[in-house]
Every structure is written in C-alpha cells, then in structure tokens.
Amino acid sequence: MAGRAGSGAGMVEGSRWHKWVFFHVPLMVFVVGTLFPFYWMLVTAFRPDGELYRPWRAVNNTPFWTTQPTLEHAIYLFKQTMFATWLWNTMFIALLSTLISLFCGLLAGYALARLRFPLAGGLGTSIFVTYLVPPTLLFIPLANIIRDFRLGDTPWSLILTYPTFLIPFCTWLLMGYFKTIPKELEECARIDGATRVRAMIQIIFPIATPGILSAGIFAFTLSWNEFIYALVFLSSPQQKTVPVGVVSELIRGDVFFWGPLMAGALLGSIPVALIYSFFVEHYVAGLTGAVKG
C-alpha cells in the first residue's frame, strides 16, 4: 500500500516510508554521530570513578547514563590541577591574538578590497598562500624565532605566532565582506567631508560589523582550540592552555584520568559555545554576506 502511494507522488513529497528512508533515518544517524561524543563527554564528566571503571559485563553497568552524578572531577580539576590558570591563559592568549589579527586583517582587507596600488592582486594571493602553509611545518622555523627572542614558555610565544594563520584568514574573510559594500557609500562620505580613514571607521566598519564579528569568532575559536604551537612553545604547567594542559597533566604515562579529562574538555568548550550562541545571528549574516545599500 505504501509503495502504491509512493509511486504516485514525487520523491520528496512521497509516502511516509520514503520520508523515513531518505530523510529521517539519515538525519538521525548524522545527528547521533555528531552529538554522541559530546554526550559521552558530558556523562563521563559527571560519572563517579567507581562507575567509570566498572567492567562492561558487570550486572549494574550503565554505560550510557549515570545513577550518581557527581562534581568530584570538576572539583579535582580546580583543586589538584592548575585548570583555572589554564582557562585564564587560554582566554588571555585567544583574546589578544584575535584582537591583533582582527586589527591587521581589517586594515589589510580594506586595502586589498578598496585601494588601487601596484601588486595588490599579487599581495592578496601571497597572503592567502601563507595561510596554506601547514602549522605542523611552520612551527619548526617559528620555534627558532621564539627561542631567539627569548619568548619560549611565555604567553607571548602564542599571542605573536597565532596571527601567522589568523591574519591571512581574517584578511580574506574581511576583504570578501568589504567587496560586498558599495563603494559609493564611502565616496559619498568623502564628499560629505570625511577623510578616507574617517569614512572607513565611521561608515564602512559599522556596516561590516557582521563580517568583523564572524572573523573575530572564528579567530577566537581557532586560537582557543589550537594545540600544536601551544604544545611546542609552552613547557611549564602554569603557562599552559586548556587543550595542552588537560592532555599533558591528566594523561600520565598510560594512565588516563578520564573523569577530569572529560570535565576539562567540557569546561573548556563552554566559553566557545557561549560565544557562538551569543553571536550566531550576526555570525550567520557574516558568512552569507551581502549588504543592501
């Protein structure tokens, strides 16, 4: 019966059976596949150790939920490790490197989008090419520079190296956004009595707010989650960032402190999640671009 109804209608507006097979089931697989690791993180973060190390075959094993949620792992994190310091470090480093990159990206993106100067096209391309150099290669020469400037094991080693990939990224995103803003707006402002810089700051930047927010959020997230530079350039525990600190201090040899690890991952991802949800409307507008004059 279902088959008959399905053959009458099209694929999308087909029978329930069709919808389930081609839409609901794949969607559920996707959703579960994407969200399950987060769920596992959440459950493990609140699971007491006794439950965590219970064998699979045990009669009272409940792998997908917990019967006695506890905060002991979070408390352990803050009492026994330097997690608070790591959070603070990560925040400080991510904020500063984002600000530096946004500032440079704004100016460079504006110049590439608006000013006519020799080699503008070539410069744009070469900025993009530097973004393509993989950090796993770039950290070798950068480590040399960091050592020569005696910045090793300080937050500045990261604040100054993150822009190597953040600036090209911000520049390109913002250049694209500036190009969608009609140039007449700024020409009009210049006729109205503004200098080029003033027109840029009072007219173009406010209109580009969604684009600037997107670039900022992306840059912040990238530096918040960055691992390899942080691992290489920082060595003492009190200097570490969350991703490196959690991994290096809570995995000792072959012993994994799963509870605190997961609690650390959870607490570390909350700020990013908050920022995303707070700016999501601007952020989506920034990605889809387009300003109407």
Partner 1 sequence: MAQVMMKDLNKKYDEVHAVKDVNLHIRDKEFVVLVGPSGCGKSTTLRMVAGLEEITAGEITIGDRIVNDLPPKDRDIAMVFQNYALYPHMTVYDNMAFGLKMRKFPKPEIAKRVGDAAEILGIQELLKRKPRQLSGGQRQRVAVGRAIVRHPQVFLFDEPLSNLDAKLRVQMRVELKRLHDRLETTAIYVTHDQVEAMTLGDRVVVMKDGWIQQVGEPLELYGKPANRFVAGFIGSPSMNFVDVTVADASGALWVETAGLRVKVPPALSGRLGAYKSQHVTLGIRPEDLRVASGSDSADYSFDTVVEVVEPLGSEILLDLKAGPNVIVARVEPTVRVKHGDKMRLALHPERVRFFDNKTELAI
CB of 212 to partner 1, least distance (A): 13
Residue 13 or residue 187: which is nearer to partner 1 going by CB? Answer: 187
CB of 232 to partner 1, least distance (A): 43
**Contact criterion met (CB below 8 Å) for 119 and 279:** no
CB of 278 to partner 1, least distance (A): 20
CB of 166 to partner 1, least distance (A): 26
What are the structure tokens assigned to 85, written together? 């310091």
Among 21, 80, 184, 277, binds partner 1 (CB under 8 A): 184
What span, in angstroms and rounded, lies between the C-alpha atoms of 55 and 41? 19
Residue 13 or residue 184: which is nearer to partner 1 going by CB? Answer: 184
Residues 186 to 245 in contact with partner 1, rule: CB under 8 A:
187-195, 198, 203, 206-207
**Contact criterion met (CB below 8 Å) for 166 and 97:** yes
What span, in angstroms and rounded, lies between the C-alpha atoms of 237 and 120? 44
CB of 292 to partner 1, least distance (A): 6
What span, in angstroms and rounded, lies between the C-alpha atoms of 41 and 75? 16
Q: Judged by CB under 8 A, does residue 123 bind partner 1?
A: no
Q: What are phi and psi of 112, to 5 degrees?
A: -70, -30
Element holding 171 (H helix, E strand):
helix 163-179
Among the listed ranges 9-17, 25-33, 211-219, 285-293, the one in contact with partner 1 (CB under 8 A) is 285-293
What are the structure tokens assigned to 20, written together? 């389930």
> Rounded to the nearest 10 degrees, how much is the dihedral formed by the CA atoms of 108, 109, 114, 115?
20
Residue 8 or residue 182: which is nearer to partner 1 going by CB? Answer: 182
- Contact residues toward partner 1 (CB under 8 A) are 182, 184-185, 187-195, 198, 203, 206-207, 291-293
